[in-house]
A and B are shown apart, each in its own frame.
Chain A
Amino acid sequence: MTGDPRQVAPRRLSRRHLLLGGAAAGIGAAGIGAAGAIGIDLAGRAGQTSGQATGTAAPVAGGDTVAFYGTHQAGIETVPQSHVTYLALDLADAVDASALRRMMRILTDDAARLSQGAGALADTEPELAVVPARLTVTFGFGAGLVARTRRPAPHWLKALPPFTIDRLDAAWSDGDLLLQVNSDDPLTVAHATRMLVKDTRSFAAVRWVQSGFRRARGSEKPGTTMRNLFGQVDGTVTLAPGSPDFERLVWGAADNPAWLAGGTGFVLRRIAMNLDKWDGLDRSGREAAVGRRLDTGAPLTGTRETDQPDFDAKTAIGFPVIPEFSHLRRARSDNPDERIFRRGYNYDETPTGATGSNSGLLFASFQADVDRQFVPLQKRLDTLDLLNQWTTPIGSAVFAIPPGCGAGGYIGDTLF
């Protein structure tokens, strides 16, 4: 402890400042000053109740907001927040297009307000809403929902074809309506999720909830590829938001119906990772299974994560440096259209039975055409991927992600 806490004037952002400052410069300037104050303040108050300390601590990142309204929904190109909760809902039998319109107007209004750090209408805990921490809510429509509207569905909006490695559990699969709730703050995710679920009660029931996490915000440089619970750098090969390829392969029209223009397709796969079995594999075996180094994530033929793999490189005794059976080799396609945008999270739940872990990956990918982009990739991995020995898909769901909306509209207004 080097600073005298008394020399640091306490900075407190008013709620109004927090709300209206948002990601704007106002909070940035104040936030930097406050950042110093927090650490010293907490240190200086060691021994006192943390409640007092946090009472004077000005939020730094908590006030950051992501615009809700736009051509595309937020929560896709948004730099992945630290926490996610995916929810799938099943619509009540009586819900028709008119009811869907009513529901999506309410949910849109909730999401718009919450994402800007304001309580939703009828929010009974609005104090939990004032720390948005880049909250985004992204909506997806399942085949069952689109069918209620009697409008055409994209041809890929259906369960994925069965794969031999699948051990799917209905408890983690399918659903009519998807909510993807992201924030850097798990309490914010919980509150937003609670508020949204309350407002779906008249229309739908929760089918499943899947929560996941990455590194906490600020723990490492933004944009760092996440690591999964095998310790692997996970998601290196993906489409870069803002790139022409992303525009074409995520936001592109493909041959989707007109109501989906500005939207895309979404696949969520719950992939159990057997950590107990993985423990039995030595480091060289682990690297061979994926075709990448564990420390840097570089291909076994390279030195940096982003290096292109050299599949022709051979070892001294003539074997490929990157094994034919490795995940990297098998996932790679020669067809540049067979690419996806990945935005996954880890999960780590309570173990059951004799297992020492209940962990895995919430594999989440966005692509304009699930059949042409995701399915070929998964088929190759299904046929042969050494990693399959330690990983098992146990949940699978496909949703159409409708476009964003303007301030006077609502998500789904192109469909209903």
Chain B
Amino acid sequence: MRNITAPRLLAVAAAALLALTGCATTGAATSPTQGTTANAAHSLSVTDAWVKSADQGMSGAFGTLTNAGSADLTVVSAATPAASMVELHETAANAAGDMVMRKKDGGFVVPAGGSLTLAPGANHLMLMGLTAPISAGDEVAFTLTLSDGSTCDFTAPAKAFSGANENYEGGMNTEPSK
């Protein structure tokens, strides 16, 4: 049901409740310029990922990014075949005091040995220009790109969700969808 590697499958079976989606890393690891140096994405794992189902327009993706390494990681961009554009968003107060979603300057920093939660009403991946309806139960593929150019792939099941309708800075609203 998820893209998980065999060793991780054991971990899932043992923990039963953890949806562990390890990063399938690409890019820097095979880049000759990086030599044998471990890339940042090797330290990153994505758990409990899900995406809000939507017929068209915009959606959001959520989950927990965990950094098992000893150096902070920075996610600088995200992409999915399900949307023409993905932005890293935060939800914060604007100058008028309203809570709005807006692009996160500098990307998502995942602290060394720590994690970053992406959740409705907080940091999240903003999908814009859906290429097709995202139906509940669909498995949506994502690629995160880190500041060193390495990437991390994961899939997220789509769930019908009524929330995650915060104001978007720029005046647009996302409608509740099924």
Given the known interface contacts A112-B16, A410-B1, the answer about A202 and B48 at a Cβ–Cβ threshold of 8 Å is no
Q: Which residues of A, 318-349, contact B by the 8 Å Cβ criterion?
A: none
Q: Is A199 among interface residues, defined by CB-CB distance under 8 A?
A: yes
A106 at the interface (CB under 8 A from B): yes
- In the complex, the answer to whether B1 meets A69 with C-beta atoms within 8 Å is no
Contacting pair B9 A199 (CB below 8 A): no
> What distance in Å separates the Cβ of A127 from its nearest Cβ neighbour in chain B?
14
Residues of the A chain whose Cβ atoms lie less than 8 Å from the Cβ of B9: 407-408
Indicate whether A2 reaches chain B with its CB closer than 8 angstroms.
Answer: no
Which residues of the other chain, A, contact B159 by a CB distance below 8 angstroms? 106, 121-122, 199
Tell me the nearest residue of chain B to A203, going by C-beta.
B136
A407, B17: Cα distance in complex, Å: 10
C-alpha gap A285/B9 in the complex (Å): 60
**What residues on B are CB-neighbors of A116 within 8 Å?**
16-17
Minimum distance in angstroms from A402 CB to a CB of chain B: 16
A interface, size bucket: 20 to 34
**Contact among A109, A203, A406, A407 with B157 in the assembled complex (CB-CB below 8 Å):** A109
A67 within 8 A of B: yes
Q: Which B residues touch A109, using CB under 8 A?
A: 1, 19, 157
Give residues 58-82 of B contacting A (CB, 8 Å).
62
Is residue A394 contacting chain B, with contact meaning CB distance below 8 A?
A: no
B17 touches A106 (CB 8 A): no
Given contact pairs A103-B137, A109-B1, A124-B163, A67 touches B48 in the complex (Cβ within 8 A): no
Interface residues of A in 114-138 (CB under 8 A from B): 116-118, 121-122, 124
A11 at the interface (CB under 8 A from B): no
* Contact A103 to B16, CB < 8 A, known contacts A121-B50, A202-B178: no
Which chain B residues in 129-176 approach chain A with CB under 8 Å?
135-138, 157, 159-161, 163
Across the interface, name the chain A residue whose C-beta is closest to B160: A202
Asked if B53 is at the interface (CB within 8 A of a chain A CB), the reply is yes
Does B96 have its Cβ within 8 Å of any Cβ on chain A? no
| Interfacial chain A residues near B13, Cβ < 8 Å | 69, 406-407
CB distance from A185 to the nearest CB of B (A): 18
Contact of A102 among B50, B62, B138 (CB under 8 A): B138
Contacts of A124 in B (CB 8 A): 163
Q: Which residues of the other chain, A, contact B128 by a CB distance below 8 angstroms?
A: none
Across-interface contacts of A121 in B (CB, < 8 A): 19, 48, 50, 157, 159
Q: Does A198 contact B (CB under 8 A)?
A: yes
B135–A118 contact, CB under 8 A?
A: no
In the complex, what residues of B have CB within 8 A of residue A117's CB? Answer: 17
Tell yes or no: B92 within 8 A of A by CB.
Answer: no
Residue of B with least CB distance to A117? B17
Most buried by A among B9, B17, B19, B136: B17
Nearest A residue (CB) for B62? A122
B178 touches A201 (CB 8 A): yes
Give B13 Cβ to nearest chain A Cβ, in Å.
4
CA gap between A68 and B12 in the complex, in Å: 13
Q: Is the CB of A198 within 8 A of B17?
A: no
Q: Given A105-B157, A408-B1, A410-B1, answer yes or no on A99-B137 (Cβ-Cβ < 8 Å).
A: yes
Q: Considering only CB atoms, which chain A residue lies closest to B12 in the complex?
A: A407
- When the two chains form the complex, which single residue of B17, B48, B52, B53 contacts A19, counting CB atoms closer than 8 Å? B17
Residues of B within 8 A of A198 (CB): 160
Given the complex, which residues of A lie within 8 Å of B1, measured CB to CB?
Answer: 105, 108-109, 408-410
Residue interface mask A336-371, B partner, CB < 8 A = 1: 000000000000000000000000000000000000
State in angstroms the CA–CA spacing of A105 and B161 once bound together. Answer: 16
- Per-position binary interface string of chain A over residues 188-205, scored 1 when its CB falls under 8 Å from any chain B CB and 0 otherwise: 000000000011011100
Q: A105-B1, A109-B1 are in contact. Are A199 and B160 (CB under 8 A)?
A: yes
Q: What's the nearest-Cβ distance from chain A to residue B15, in Å?
A: 8
- Distance between Cα atoms of A410 and B157 in the complex (Å): 13
Question: A130 to nearest B CB, angstroms?
Answer: 11
CB distance from A231 to the nearest CB of B (A): 41
B19: A residues at CB distance < 8 A: 109, 113, 121
A96 to B9, CA, bound (A): 29
19 further A-B pairs in the complex, CB-CB below 8 A; given A108-B1, A112-B16, A410-B1: A20-B15, A68-B16, A102-B135, A102-B137, A102-B138, A103-B136, A105-B137, A105-B157, A106-B159, A113-B19, A118-B17, A121-B48, A122-B159, A122-B161, A201-B178, A202-B137, A203-B136, A407-B16, A408-B1
Closest 8 CB pairs of A and B: A102-B137, A202-B136, A116-B17, A118-B17, A121-B50, A407-B13, A122-B159, A202-B160
A-B contact pairs, 16 of them (CB 8 A): A19-B17, A69-B13, A99-B137, A105-B137, A106-B159, A109-B19, A117-B17, A121-B19, A121-B159, A199-B159, A199-B160, A201-B136, A201-B160, A202-B137, A408-B9, A410-B1
